[in-house]
Structure 1
Amino acid sequence: MEIALERIAEKKLRKFTQDVFLAIGCSKDDAELAADVLLKADLRGIDSHGVARLTGYVRLWDKKRINPTPQIKVVSETPSTATIDGDAGLGLVVAPFAMKIALEKAKKCGSGWVAIKNSNHFGIAGYHALMAVEKNMIGMAMTNASPLVTPTFSKERMLGTNPICYTFPAGKYPPIVMDMATSTAANGKLEVAKRKDLPIPSGWAQDVDGKPSVDAGVVTRGGSLLPLGGDREHGSHKGYGLSAAVDIFSAVVSGANYGPWAPPFVAYLDPLNDLPGEGLGHFLGAWRVDAFRPIEDYKKNIDQWIGRFKSAERIDESQPVIIPGEPEYEAELVNRVEGIPLVQSVKDDLNTLAMRFDIEAL
């Protein structure tokens, strides 16, 4: 059972990650940005979407699924909306490019909306949505993903984990960050459990025959993840509906591949034939708070909202009520000082990249 962790200094891990992206042909600016997105995940304790994914991006590059020097362009535009062609670039680079456009449009129109096609895995949705908070705006980010999730009453993989994130700026408190998969768990959490040789909770996944499974490797053997809720009796139709909306916004609206045609991530590489769209899709949005009311009044009320929820009567006095995004914010405070924890298998994978690209090992 792998549970031992080694903490790596943020600066060291950041340089290593940048060096890998430079080695596959990214520009200096793009390598720094892509590394920043991955490090943000690790700093916030979302290790399923941090540097553990780095070997996956390299394998996508090996398969010529990633263009390290994309010519990202606007293909359709109105004053408040745009559609972006990511030119098969790293989603880690394409999505921030698109979010900047959404923010500019929101600055002028009150809100801005950008659909993205021909992209790849974009890291944590929270990174992109938090860009809005820096401008005193409300942010939104969503993406479709490899089909690993079954619709309610099905055993066929039709949807991705399809995460969605909303961010709300606050005053004296950290921002509210609601960043979640629309499946019962992100696939990365199964990968983390598998690396640690741990079972997964009941209700996360089912085997190829549609029977419940607690085996972290079940998806790699043809099984599937379940929509948020797990089964119909526990509300899986609601998770299914959320996932469907993310898929449609991200891919049908943008012109990317949707549903079972979404390009698989590296662990599930299949031939990409007869696809209806281009690459993976994302959908990003931003609202200017002061388009609705003065920002000072909003911040006074959002701080009151947060404070009141934090003081809600507890079931167990030792367990405080948590505001969305609070655990990740606290993890970042610790990890910036103490270093980012890596399990040995992830460190070994990264050092294999170091040998391949002749860069300094961790």
Structure 2
Amino acid sequence: MLHHISFDYMEKFMLDVFTAIGVPADEAKTCAGVLIASDKRGIDSHGIGRLKPIYYDRIVHQKIQQASTEFEIVRDHLATAVVDGHHGMGMVVAKRCMQMAIDKAKKHGMGMVVARNSTHYGIAGYYPLMACAENMIGISGTNARPSIAPTFGVENMLGTNPLVFGFPTDEPFDFVNDYATSVIQRGKIEQYAREGKDCPEGLIIGRDGKSKTNSKQILEDLVKGEAALAPIGGIGEENGGYKGYGFATVTEVLSAALQQGAFLQQLTDRDANGERKPYQLGHFFIAIDIKCFCEPTDFRKSAGDIMRALRESEKAPGAERIYTCGEKEHLTGIERADSGVPVNEALQKDMITMRNELGLGYKFDFE
């Protein structure tokens, strides 16, 4: 049965879990903050749903991720920097990198920081929004474990590789296009599997070149290399799949080549002998100071005017409204402020497991 938990209670639980597995208090606050931001925005694939399989299990059971983050600045040159995260918490690495980019942009107009040897950093949109709050344009991307097949291929080579832009506006919410460069991303498939749903046709390609729909089987096949995600546009060229393939490749190059890190099929959790190893992810962060081009208030109004014009344009027959990027997430945040985070039975079991294993003093309403 679906249950709702308040933002504050859920964030405190996640904070206590992170702290209990060895994440330092200030870093745990960052990690829990990124995850609850995802749940608030309705990106359920990257909030509490990721706590156990992506962070808890990798630190506690698989031992391929460090709970405490060693943040090493490898190169630092005026508007740019290269950072090594030493397999620590991706959210900690990412937030510090974006803050560095913002600080550099304040001095030089633009700042770019790239990171290597990092881990999953949560929702990519969190970091461009940090720049928006400082009257800046924010850009971020990350590579990931192999999932996407190149157009006309069936082998999972590229990660879901989000390429995200954030623009401040004069509206109650900023523009942020937070999504993967695949038609669907692994977290959404995990969500389908938890809910007992099949994936829609045409999103996953098997080694035989045919579409796959069984969510649980797809997750197994992705790990075994027997299935791959289609890039944005879908399987083949007919619907523009080569465009998503191209953007995923752009993210891969910017995430790996500048910091000389791992890429493509090197980004797995197994070495040549089949032993567990860290994922070695790379990220990039760009901040652009708007005041170097025009007054921030003028930019915000122009950006807002563009969004309003798009939403006020003629709607398709039967369509109730047109949205712009960031709007649905904003509306979900307002709705969930009262209802809280939805937690299905699978997530409830995960929360109980973590609580029991760690000996945390929580009694959940759904028990």
**SS of match in other structure, 1:233:** coil
Cα shift at 1:320: 0.5
> What are the residue-to-residue correspondences of 1:285-296 with 2, within 5 Å?
285-296=286-297
Which amino acid is 1:31 matched to? Answer: A
Residue 220 of structure 2: aligned partner: 220
Which amino acid is 2:245 matched to? Answer: Y
Residue 125 of structure 1: aligned partner: 124
Distance 1:153 1:343 in 2: 37
Residue 305 of structure 2: aligned partner: 304
Q: Which moved more, 1:60-69 or 1:35-44?
A: 60-69
2:9 to 5, 12, 23: 12
Residues 303-349 of structure 1, C-alpha deviations (whole Å, 9 max, x = no match): 21121111111113652110111101111111122211111111111
Relative distance call for 1:259 and 1:246 in structure 2 (3 A) is: same
Cα shift at 1:69: 1.5
Alignment pair present for 1:39 and 2:43: no
Which amino acid is 2:154 matched to? Answer: K
Decide whether the 8 Å contact of 2:68 with 2:89 is kept in 1.
no
Residue 242 of structure 1: aligned partner: 247
Which amino acid is 1:282 matched to? Answer: H
**SS of match in other structure, 2:238:** helix
> What are the residue-to-residue correspondences of 1:103-252 with 2, within 5 Å?
103-217=102-216, 218-221=218-221, 222-231=226-235, 232-252=237-257
Which amino acid is 2:33 matched to? Answer: D
Distance 1:150 1:303 in 2: 37
Decide whether the 8 Å contact of 1:173 with 1:303 is kept in 2.
no
Number of positions where the alignment pairs a residue of Structure 1 with one of Structure 2: 353
Decide whether the 8 Å contact of 2:7 with 2:341 is kept in 1.
yes
Decide whether the 8 Å contact of 2:149 with 2:158 is kept in 1.
yes
Residue 48 of structure 2: aligned partner: 51
Cα shift at 1:272: 5.5
Distance 2:268 2:107 in 1: 35
Distance 2:7 2:125 in 1: 19
User: Which runs of at least 4 in structure 1 moved beyond 3 Å after TM superposition?
Assistant: 270-273
Cα shift at 1:361: 4.4
Q: TM-score, normalised by structure 2?
A: 0.92
Residues 48-72 of structure 1, C-alpha deviations (whole Å, 9 max, x = no match): 0111111121111132221112220
Distance 2:350 2:363 in 1: 11
Residue 333 of structure 2: aligned partner: 332
Alignment pair present for 1:91 and 2:100: no
Distance 2:269 2:170 in 1: 40
Runs of at least 5 residues in structure 1 that lack an aligned partner in the other structure: none
**SS of match in other structure, 2:115:** strand
Decide whether the 8 Å contact of 1:354 with 1:361 is kept in 2.
no
Residues 99-150 of structure 1, C-alpha deviations (whole Å, 9 max, x = no match): 1100000111111101100100000001111100110111111000010111
Which amino acid is 2:339 matched to? Answer: E
**SS of match in other structure, 1:125:** coil
**SS of match in other structure, 2:155:** coil
**SS of match in other structure, 1:179:** coil
Q: Which moved more, 1:46-55 or 1:296-305?
A: 296-305
**SS of match in other structure, 1:287:** strand
Distance 1:66 1:361 in 2: 29
Relative distance call for 1:153 and 1:318 in structure 2 (3 A) is: closer
Alignment pair present for 1:256 and 2:266: no
Distance 2:337 2:144 in 1: 29
Alignment pair present for 1:354 and 2:337: no
Alignment pair present for 1:271 and 2:270: no
Distance 2:276 2:21 in 1: 22
The CA RMSD over aligned residues, in Å, is 1.8
Residue 66 of structure 2: aligned partner: 67
Q: Which moved more, 1:39-48 or 1:334-343?
A: 334-343
Cα shift at 1:264: 4.1
> What are the residue-to-residue correspondences of 1:16-31 with 2, within 5 Å?
16-31=13-28
Runs of at least 5 residues in structure 2 that lack an aligned partner in the other structure: none
Distance 2:58 2:261 in 1: 17
Decide whether the 8 Å contact of 1:148 with 1:219 is kept in 2.
no
**SS of match in other structure, 1:7:** strand
Residues 32-82 of structure 1, C-alpha deviations (whole Å, 9 max, x = no match): 110000011111000101111111211111322211122202101211110
Residue 346 of structure 2: aligned partner: 345
Decide whether the 8 Å contact of 1:263 with 1:280 is kept in 2.
no
Relative distance call for 1:236 and 1:361 in structure 2 (3 A) is: farther
Relative distance call for 1:81 and 1:18 in structure 2 (3 A) is: same
Which amino acid is 2:143 matched to? Answer: N
**SS of match in other structure, 2:32:** helix
Distance 1:220 1:5 in 2: 26
Cα shift at 1:263: 2.9
**SS of match in other structure, 2:234:** coil
